[in-house]
Amino acid sequence: MPFTGGKEGTGKVIEANGESLQGWVGKRVSFCSATGGAWAQYTVSNPLFTFEIDQEVSLSSAASGIVNPLTVIGFV
């Protein structure tokens, strides 16, 4: 059963599908994956669940900035 874990990750966009998404190429992003695999070296992300990360924020700090806060809100 080959499977790479991770529902949330960070990285740099290296390719975009479609002319309207070409502005994402080269940007640092945080994203949620509907299918998992966020911890792979390369993965595919839905632009609706992808957010640009400022240069001052490290990728490791941004790696849990989407799912974990929503979990805390759910607990409260």
Question: Domain extents for the chain?
Answer: 8-75
On average, the pLDDT of the chain sits at 88
| C-alpha distance across the termini of the chain, in Å | 36
pLDDT band (50, 70, 90) for residue 1: low
The structure's pTM equals 0.79
- Cα 40–43–46 angle (5° rounding)? 140
pLDDT of 21-57, one tens digit each? Answer: 999 999 999 998 878 888 889 998 899 999 999 999 9
pLDDT band (50, 70, 90) for residue 4: confident
